[in-house]
Amino acid sequence: MTSKYKVLFLCRENSARSIIAEALLRELAGHRFDVFSAGSDPAARVHALAIAQLRPGISDLGLLTPKSWLEFTGQWAPHMDLIVALDERVAEYHAPEFPGKPLFVQWDFADPLAEGMTLEERTRSFEKVFWQIVRRVTLFMELPRYTSPVVLSAPSAEPVAHERDIVCPG
């Protein structure tokens, strides 16, 4: 029996970087990954510039909504295999405990919503961050650990361990 890897992307407002990462991984490898995103202080809606970056290549933008990371902490929450923080303000030591003790990593990208930018600077920042996330998600998908679904053994239904020490280059 096989199962998809479960990945949760975290960002403070869950309106830009984590949404972009969720959408890209789902679109590019949804057959191998169940992908989610959330934030500590979710925004009311996905940022318009994030939607503008995603619109040309994402088939179902309607799935993208900001969510609280608390939705993923309860006893009925899906057990993640990997949690990726895209904002240093939600690093592992700030995040709540998630069921199943998932691997936790940090991918550092500039905040396209940082204070003090003009609209033109913000638009360029969103485009730059979008392409950085595309590159990182693509590298992540190609890692040997994630090239095929999790294989579950019949008696214990526990995932077979693979190269857990390798998460994603640079």
Distance CA 39, CA 14 (A): 5
Mean pLDDT by 10 residues, the chain (170 residues): 86 95 94 94 94 85 91 91 89 84 92 93 95 95 74 46 41
Does residue 167 fall inside a structural domain?
no
In the prediction, which pLDDT does 143 show? 84
CATH number of the domain to which 144 belongs? 3.40.50.2300
Residue 169 lies in a domain: no
| Structural domain for 122, as ranges | 2-151
Is 109 part of any domain?
Answer: yes
73 within a domain of the structure (yes/no): yes
What's the token pair of residue 154? 């019949």
Query: Strands 2-3 and 150-151, how do they pair?
Result: antiparallel
Position 150 scores a pLDDT of: 59
Look at the chain and report how many structural domains it folds into.
1
pLDDT the model gives residue 100: 86
157 part of a folded domain: no
Answer whether residue 162 is part of any domain: no
